[in-house]
């Protein structure tokens, strides 16, 4: 990482980065650890969670435009976390926290059950080689973790420029008993709260279509 990125971790982490008890790996979360959103944000507000937030462009823009909501960025890429903290600090965002962790673990145990109003996953790594597709985040089992974290009626928003992954996302989530489609037709409309990131721009430049999906968490029995 650059000096600026090191500085972000030294100076801005106390304000932005959650101090998570770890499991075995450095990006794992101890199974007994639970986030206390009211303590972390200093208030009780709706919580929006982005998985694989990259450089933080989408979530910072959302946090700035919606000061009454709280935002959590989950990312394993340290340089991306540093960039997000530097940019968040530049614009003085207060309703954003970051966590350096493997996202499924945050959904499956660290977030309190039903605490998230929405979970976003925009342009996740496509792992396009056949032998690597099992590494994709949205695969069988992902729906359980997302459904646990979401409140009743909460939304799961997804976007990708990789057709085969879009089809996989839709197949996996259509099969999830806790979710129902919240879009008509083949794909969801573009989410107007999502700003264009470098990954989307690159996909478009390569002539790929952007596909979005929107699922609603069903009410718990």
Ligand X SMILES: C[S@@+](CC[C@H](N)C(=O)[O-])C[C@H]1O[C@@H](n2cnc3c(N)ncnc32)[C@H](O)[C@@H]1O
87 near ligand X, rule: CB under 6 A: no
Which residue stretch of 6-14, 47-55, 173-181, 207-215 sits at the interface with ligand X (rule: CB under 6 A)?
47-55
Catalytic residue among 69, 87, 89, 125: 125
Decide: 60 and 87 in contact? Cβ < 8 Å.
Answer: yes
Shortest spacing between CB 185 and ligand X, in angstroms:
24
Distance CA 142, CA 173 (A): 9
Alpha-helical (H) ranges within the chain are 3-7, 13-16, 37-41, 57-65, 78-91, 103-105, 142-149, 163-174, 198-205
- Is 36 marked active-site? no
Shortest spacing between CB 155 and ligand X, in angstroms:
17
Shortest spacing between CB 33 and ligand X, in angstroms:
16
76 near ligand X, rule: CB under 6 A: yes
Beta carbon nearer to ligand X, 78 or 216: 78
State which of residues 18, 199, 210, 211 lies at the interface with ligand X (CB under 6 A): 199
CA R_g for the chain:
17
Distance CA 58, CA 19 (A): 23
25 burial (CB, 10 Å; 0-12 / 13-18 / 19+) is exposed
- The contact pattern for ligand X, residues 4-33, with x = CB under 6 A and - = no contact, is ------------------------------
Residue partners of 110: CB distance under 8 A and separation at least 6: 20, 29, 33, 34, 35, 99, 101
Distance CA 210, CA 221 (A): 35
Which residue stretch of 90-98, 169-177, 195-203, 207-215 sits at the interface with ligand X (rule: CB under 6 A)?
195-203
Shortest spacing between CB 168 and ligand X, in angstroms:
15
State which of residues 16, 122, 142, 165 lies at the interface with ligand X (CB under 6 A): 122
State which of residues 103, 156, 188, 210 lies at the interface with ligand X (CB under 6 A): 103
Q: Which positions are annotated as active-site residues?
A: 125
């Amino acid at each position: 990482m650059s000096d600026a990125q090191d500085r972000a971790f030294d100076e801005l982490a106390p304000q932005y980065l959650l101090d998570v008890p770890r499991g075995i790996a450095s990006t794992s979360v101890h199974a007994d650890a639970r986030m206390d959103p009211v303590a972390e944000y200093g208030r009780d507000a709706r919580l929006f969670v982005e998985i694989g937030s990259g450089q933080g462009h989408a979530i910072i823009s959302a946090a700035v435009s919606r000061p009454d909501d709280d935002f959590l960025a989950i990312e394993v890429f340290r340089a991306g976390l540093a960039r997000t903290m530097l940019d968040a600090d530049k614009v003085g965002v207060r309703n954003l926290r970051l966590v350096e962790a493997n996202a499924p673990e945050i959904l499956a145990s660290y977030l309190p059950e039903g605490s998230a109003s929405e979970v976003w996953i925009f342009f996740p790594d496509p792992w396009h080689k056949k032998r690597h597709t099992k590494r994709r985040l949205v695969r069988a089992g992902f729906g359980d973790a997302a459904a646990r974290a979401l409140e009743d009626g909460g939304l799961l928003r997804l976007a990708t420029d990789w057709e085969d992954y879009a089809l996989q996302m839709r197949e996996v989530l259509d099969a999830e008993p806790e979710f129902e489609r919240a879009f008509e037709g083949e794909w969801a409309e573009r989410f107007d709260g999502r700003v264009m990131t470098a990954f989307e721009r690159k996909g478009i430049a390569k002539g790929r279509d952007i596909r979005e999906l929107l699922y609603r968490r069903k009410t718990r029995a």
